[in-house]
Amino acid sequence: MYVATAAPSYVISPYLTEMSSYNETLTTYFGFSDFRAGQLEAIQSVLTEKKDTFVVLPTSTGKTLIFQFVSIVNRLRDPTGITIVISSLIALMTDQVKQWNDRFLLNEDGQIERRPPGVTGRPVAVLLGSAQNDPAVEPRALRGLYPVVYLAPEKLPYLPSSIVPRVQLLVIDECHCISEHGNSFRPAYRAIRPFFAQTQTLALTATAPPDIEADIIENLALVEPMIIRMSMARPNLRLLVRHKRARAQDIVTMRDLVPPSGRTVIFGTTRAECESLAKDLGPCALAYHAGLSTEERAHVLPPHRAVCRHQVHLHCQLPNHPAAYHVPSYYYYYYYYY
């Protein structure tokens, strides 16, 4: 029989005691001994100082852990509370929901805890929208039965007003989309705040120069937000630029640049270009863009995609619609622009 271990206690406490609780939670729930740069500052801003928070951290440096951590602690404090996560990409939301439910479960007290190997339990996170195949999920989510709910901004008008008071935190992941997408083909990104006028907000991105930052803060009406920005320097990345030549020559060059193992992403400029690149590069190359059906996306995304020879996977994608998911073996990214 599985017996849940006691969760760390969260009461109003002196700073050092609180820090000890945060470190204990990090180890208990995530298995890490130390926070990465920017994580603890963001967590303190949200949980301790109760501030709206704007976070700019490089890709793959732990932005997701910040709101996972906050969601877990908020749920310990109030086992009926909800975190709403707004994101632009179906693939990203699907992957994060899977990570939540693979690692955590919802216990009988309504709190989130680590999922021991082989133990089943109530899911913690769900996705609402076209990628949700279970018709029973949405009615349950709208009754507040899941601690973490992911959705695109276009889904907000369909949320019942009764759920809003239970939302402990509004998370805007990839919040640069408010400026980059909201002013063009996704106006719903400019209309998020009216649905959660008084809700504490955490906005996160890896891409926000000062003008974009200011626009996001104004649009979301963040109240004296804590701004946490870390260096974009990535010493583990190597950048190489080459002049384009005739297309046939470029195809040969890209084939030569593909490593013998691991996965590679090639960004094209249009859907048609992505499809054409995938066709020209051979059977291991697959196109990924917003025009694909849910079934077609599942065929492209790991772990659904069967292993190709030498595990070389080429994903030809649009830069504003990448196949975002947690795969540790993506080492090469190419931008094929005119």
* Same-domain check for residues 207 and 281: no
Nearest-angstrom CA–CA distance, 274 and 1: 51
* Same-domain check for residues 307 and 216: no
CATH number at 128 reads 3.40.50.300
* Same-domain check for residues 129 and 254: no
Tens place of pLDDT per residue across the chain (338 aa): 333 333 444 443 344 456 678 999 999 999 999 999 999 999 999 999 999 999 999 888 899 999 999 999 999 999 999 999 999 888 789 889 999 999 999 999 999 999 998 888 899 999 998 788 888 999 999 888 999 999 999 999 999 989 999 999 999 999 999 997 777 788 999 999 999 999 999 999 998 899 999 999 999 999 999 999 988 777 777 788 888 889 899 988 888 877 777 677 888 878 888 888 888 888 778 888 778 887 787 777 664 444 444 334 555 655 554 444 555 555 677 777 65
Token pair of 57 as six digits = 């951290």
* Same-domain check for residues 224 and 297: no
pLDDT, residue 317, reads 57
* Same-domain check for residues 279 and 173: no
Nearest to 265 by CA among 176, 329, 174, 309: 329
* Same-domain check for residues 121 and 264: no
127 assigned to some structural domain? yes
Strands 112-114 and 104-106: antiparallel
Nearest-angstrom CA–CA distance, 32 and 145: 29
* Same-domain check for residues 251 and 114: no
Structural domain of 163: 15-229
49: enclosing H helix or E strand: none
Nearest-angstrom CA–CA distance, 137 and 68: 21
Alpha helices in the chain (DSSP H): 15-25, 39-47, 63-77, 90-103, 137-142, 177-180, 210-219, 247-257, 271-281, 294-300
236 assigned to some structural domain? no
Beta-bridged to residue 304, according to DSSP, are: none
* The domain boundary residue, chosen from 166, 199, 229: 229
Residue 296 is classified by DSSP as H
Beta-bridged to residue 158, according to DSSP, are: none
* Same-domain check for residues 219 and 288: no
For the whole model, what pTM was predicted? 0.79
* Same-domain check for residues 142 and 255: no
